[in-house]
Amino acid sequence: MIEVLRIENLALVESVELEFGPGLNVLTGETGAGKSIVLSALALLTGARAHADTLRSGAEEGAVEALFRMDGHEDVAAALAARDLSAEALADADGPAELIVRRTFQANGRGRARIGGQLVPVSTLAELFGGQLEISSQHGSQALRQAESHGTALDAFAGETATREQVSDEVARAGRLAREIRSLRAAEEERARRLDFLAYQLQELEAEQLDVEGVARLEAEHRRLTHAERLAEEMSAVAAALGGSEIADDGGSESADRALAVARRALVSAARMDPSLEPLVAQLESIDSELRDLSMRTADYLTDLEVDPRALARVEERIGRLEALRRKYGRSVAEMLAHRDEVAREIEGLSGTDERIRELERELGRAVAAANEASGRLSEARKRAARKLAKAVEAELGDLAMPGARFVVELEAVVPGAGADSVPGLQTGPAGRERAQFLFSANPGEAPRPIQKVASGGELSRLFLAIKNSLRRADRNMVIVFDEVDAGIGGAVAERVGRVLAELATDHQVLCITHLPQIAAFADRHFVVRKETAKKRTRTRVEEVRDDARIDELARMAGGEHVTDVTREHARSLLGS
């Protein structure tokens, strides 16, 4: 509810602060005193446009500021959190959370909106408070003029708001899934081409059975086969020198092994004469053993050495394939193996697309089934609630001096979206299988028509009051504003309107502008709007009246400008009743 409303430099108002309370708050005053300025201020808080004549003459800037008490408005708190405003915007006092909203406006049409001191777009005010603060005036009800709100009201009356939200969520989920499936299928041809290309790369890399050691051995084998003839020449020379060929460096004819044998015999003989030479004998014997081993290994190498052009051709062919792979996939074996693994992972991901489509189709089927089931339940509840709401509103209209009025809740079937965005099997739209519309006829014999087309200002205000009173337990904790709800009525009818307003105010905060004392007498708080002139400037003042001052105001409303004892007694009787 609104606890405090402050208005600065708006039309005739220079500065006014109103402290509203729960229940019914009534504003009264003479015609032209400026009661509608309060309506304009409230409309600005819901995002209404500020016109050129909104600003008080001579002022540079005007402002409307309100302190809202937010108990029971978790939806607004959630909307604030979605805009990162919850931390600073909600003043968490000892009692219920409070929210300060401020709207400024200038003569050039510019203005600012702040929530909890933080700048927000003016459109945010409409999003946050458009459904929490409703105004019904001679110019029409904000809610009733919007046909889409009729379904929301009907579902609240039926107690199926949660079901409506479930339908909306499931339809949205089905739409997202259907779009993803279509996107995956549209990419199927490109995916198939990509898979073929990747499969070729993987086959090409895996065919060579790449590993670091294997490639190193292959390259060593290639060098050996390339130089096989030269190797045979060199190693034959080594074998000849070690195995008995003549040594010709000094022109002698001894072979290396025979020379070593002669040296051994002489060294052994000398060691017999000088034992200190025995270590040299052992060393020479070790050299002889190593020389014999080297000679045998050289002979084995020559035996195994293959001078085969066909083997060389086979190795060079594979070396050529490796060079081709290096040019494509990386110079080192490690880079080629990394590319192979990346290709394998991508193939796995693309190969899973078919399974992903099947998984999405299963999920889509569940979403469609859930949406159809919930919308079916919602449709049945709407049919029952439409009849009950129509009967309840017509009963309220009868109490509001409109006994011949008819109210009908029409349910028009909605065809789910067709064309490219259609979802196969879906039997509902996001708001259900039908569109609700309120039809109204003020006079007997006239066919009910959409209320925004047939209801006059006074009729619309009373219709709005009748609907809101019928829905008061389904849609709680709102601020509802009535202007001219008393148009064209008086006497006992006015008293009935006052009783209905008071009844509605048990579940909502109600602000009402009225000219009738029979209605004003039901107020929990009574404010008087007066216009005064000082220093050649006119301004509007608003003050709360109590006790005798309130009796005087009710007496003025009942008897005119001259208040008498009779009109005061009449005012007391109204309050007493």
Q: How far is CA 521 from CA 465, 484, 516, in A?
A: 18, 16, 9
**Mean predicted confidence (pLDDT) in 129-148:** 71
**Mean predicted confidence (pLDDT) in 223-227:** 66
pLDDT of res. 421: 64
**Mean predicted confidence (pLDDT) in 182-194:** 76
On the 0-12 / 13-18 / 19+ scale of CB atoms within 10 A, 357 is middle
pLDDT at 245 over 70: no
> Please, which pLDDT band fits residue 387 given cuts at 50, 70 and 90?
very high
* CA atoms within 13 Å, Cβ hemisphere of 180: 17
pLDDT of res. 170: 95
Using an 8 Å Cβ cutoff, are 489 and 401 in contact?
Answer: yes
Of all residues in the chain, the percent with pLDDT exceeding 90 is 27
120-125, Cβ contacts within 8 angstroms, sequence gap of 24 or more: 120/83, 120/85, 122/47, 123/47, 124/47, 124/83, 125/45, 125/46, 125/47, 125/101
DSSP 32: T
* Of 225, 6, 30, residue with least CA distance to 101: 6
Q: What is the pTM of this model?
A: 0.64
> Please, which pLDDT band fits residue 253 given cuts at 50, 70 and 90?
very low
Instruction: Give the lowest-confidence range in 95-99, 124-128, 517-521, 565-569.
Output: 95-99
pLDDT of res. 25: 95
pLDDT of res. 172: 93
Query: Which one has a higher pLDDT value, 72 or 468?
Result: 468
**Mean predicted confidence (pLDDT) in 180-188:** 79
Kind of pairing between the strands at 406-413 and 140-141:
unpaired
pLDDT at 408 over 70: yes
pLDDT at 499 over 80: yes
**Mean predicted confidence (pLDDT) in 439-460:** 80
pLDDT of res. 433: 93
* DSSP symbols for 164-231: HHHHHHHHHHHHHHHHHHHHHHHTHHHHHHHHHHHHHHHHHHHHTT--HHHHHHHHHHHHHHHTHHHH
Instruction: Give the lowest-confidence range in 62-66, 287-291, 366-370.
Output: 287-291
Query: Which one has a higher pLDDT value, 454 or 42?
Result: 42
pLDDT at 5 over 90: yes
pLDDT at 557 over 80: yes
**Mean predicted confidence (pLDDT) in 190-205:** 76
Q: If you average pLDDT over every residue of the chain, what do you get?
A: 81
Across 21-132, where does the E strand assignment appear? 24-29, 61-69, 90-91, 98-106, 111-115, 118-120
pLDDT of res. 178: 92
**Mean predicted confidence (pLDDT) in 378-385:** 95
Separation of alpha carbons 471 and 271, rounded Å = 129
Q: ∠ at Cα 431 (425, 435), nearest 5°?
A: 100
Using an 8 Å Cβ cutoff, are 381 and 163 in contact?
Answer: yes
> Please, which pLDDT band fits residue 246 given cuts at 50, 70 and 90?
very low
Instruction: Give the lowest-confidence range in 74-78, 135-139, 284-288.
Output: 74-78
pLDDT of res. 80: 66
Query: Which one has a higher pLDDT value, 114 or 491?
Result: 114
Kind of pairing between the strands at 98-106 and 537-544:
unpaired
pLDDT at 251 over 50: no
Residue 498: how many other CB atoms lie within 10 Å: 26
pLDDT at 388 over 90: yes
pLDDT at 101 over 50: yes
pLDDT of res. 30: 86
**Mean predicted confidence (pLDDT) in 243-258:** 53
pLDDT at 102 over 80: yes
Using an 8 Å Cβ cutoff, are 254 and 317 in contact?
Answer: no
SS (H, E, C) 364-429: HHHHHHHHHHHHHHHHHHHHHHHHHHHHHHHHHHHHCCCCCCEEEEEEEECCCCCHHHCCCCCCCE
**Mean predicted confidence (pLDDT) in 159-184:** 91
Query: Which one has a higher pLDDT value, 355 or 152?
Result: 152
Using an 8 Å Cβ cutoff, are 350 and 194 in contact?
Answer: yes
Domains of the chain (ranges, CATH numbers):
1-144+456-530 (3.40.50.300), 162-454 (no CATH), 545-577 (no CATH)
* DSSP symbols for 450-491: EHHHH--HHHHHHHHHHHHHHTTTTS-S-EEEEESTTTT--H
> Please, which pLDDT band fits residue 85 given cuts at 50, 70 and 90?
low
Separation of alpha carbons 487 and 483, rounded Å = 9
